[in-house]
Amino acid sequence: MNKPSCLHIDPRTGLLLLVMSNILAFIQPSFPLELGWIIFLCLLTALCGCGKAAVKWLLVFGLILCLQFYILPASPKLIATGCSIFANYTRRMLSCAIVGMLMVKRTPLRELIVGLRTWHFPQKLIVAVSVTLRYFPAIREETGYIRDAMKLRNIHGLQKVEALVVPLMISATSTAEELSAAAVTRGIENPAPKTSVVELRLNAADWTCIVTGVLFTAASYLTS
């Protein structure tokens, strides 16, 4: 659960910020606008209770800038050509990664589903999203159990690969079936209108984030 002192944004706001981040990534705004957008997203991340993650994202952005402007120009031409493309695309998609991480960490799945239903997304897409977002945490938890078991049995070297992959493949199949059965049991495929105890409302913080994103997107488009 989020701490009471932390900012909590609506999942629809997060989706809009993600869309605008993708638009900005393709527009490729000027450096001042790009820097301002990254700082804004990192500040939002810190206000939502992910201060350490915000500092890490700023450090990653700084390292990419150092790589592009200082290290690669002094490197051999072959290395500079190959790495510059990777660094450029990583820098352009960094804002999308920040918003995605923020949504994964601070947006409960039930709120995301309600937000998608509010915007009348297809039910098939909602089912796929809900099962997928529950699937990967379950697999990560299962991987931890398998690693603990390998430590208890003192498995080392190449045997760790077989001891991890085989049980994980079996567990992945059974986990997918269990999640699908649980979703069907809860009536997720029922075409009848769904109800929820969760009520989503856009507050002042949400509107501030949306307006700021629109302004950055418009400015980037006009100056591109």
pLDDT digit string (tens) for 108-142? 888 888 888 888 888 778 877 877 777 777 788 88
Q: What's the pLDDT at 98?
A: 96
Distances (CA, A) of 85 to 19, 35, 63, 95, 97: 23, 19, 15, 17, 18
DSSP 21-35: HHHHHHH---HHHHH
Structural domain contains residue 55: yes
Residues 71 and 119 in one domain: no
Asked if residue 133 is part of any domain, the answer here is yes
Report the pLDDT value the prediction gives residue 5, as an integer from 0 to 100.
Answer: 60
The answer to whether residues 76 and 154 belong to one domain is no
Whether 64 is in a domain gets the answer yes
Do both 45 and 155 map to the same domain?
A: no
The reported pLDDT for the residue numbered 6 is: 81
Q: Are residues 129 and 211 in the same domain?
A: no
Cβ neighbours of residue 117 closer than 8 Å, sequence gap 6 or more: 126, 194, 196
| Residue range(s) defining the domain that contains residue 170 | 111-185
Amino acid 189: pLDDT = 67
Residues 89 and 117 in one domain: no
Give pLDDT < 70 ranges for the chain.
1-5, 188-189
Output the pLDDT for position 188. 67
Does residue 103 sit in the same domain as residue 125? no
pLDDT of residue 46: 95
Considering the domain architecture, whether residues 80 and 164 belong to the same structural domain is answered as no
Nearest residue to 33 via CA among 206, 211, 213 = 213
Do 17 and 87 belong to one domain?
Answer: yes
How many structural domains are present in the chain?
2
| Residue 6 falls inside a structural domain | no
The answer as to whether 222 is a domain residue is no
Return the closest-CA partner of residue 143 out of 178, 169, 176, 179. Answer: 169
Instruction: Report if residue 83 sits inside a domain.
Output: yes
Please tell me the total number of residues recorded for the chain in this structure: 224
Contact assessment for residue 61 and residue 38, using Cβ atoms and an 8 Å cutoff? yes
pLDDT at position 207: 96
Same domain for 121 and 97:
no
In a shared domain, residues 122 and 206:
no
Determine, yes or no, domain membership for 4: no
Q: What single letter denotes the amino acid at residue 198?
A: V
Long-range contacts of 54-58 (CB under 8 A, 24+ apart): 57/94, 57/97, 57/98
Residue 193 inside a domain? The answer is: no
The verdict on 22 and 42 lying in the same domain is yes
C-beta contacts of 90-96 below 8 A and 24+ residues apart = 90/64, 91/61, 91/64, 91/65, 92/25, 92/28, 93/25, 94/38, 94/57, 94/60, 94/61, 94/64, 95/21, 95/24, 95/25, 95/37, 95/38, 95/41, 96/18, 96/21, 96/22, 96/25
Side chain identity at residue 66, one-letter code: C
Query: What letter represents residue 208's amino acid?
Result: T
Contact 36, 216 (CB under 8 A): yes
The answer to whether the pTM exceeds 0.85 is no
Whether residues 101 and 208 fall in one domain: yes
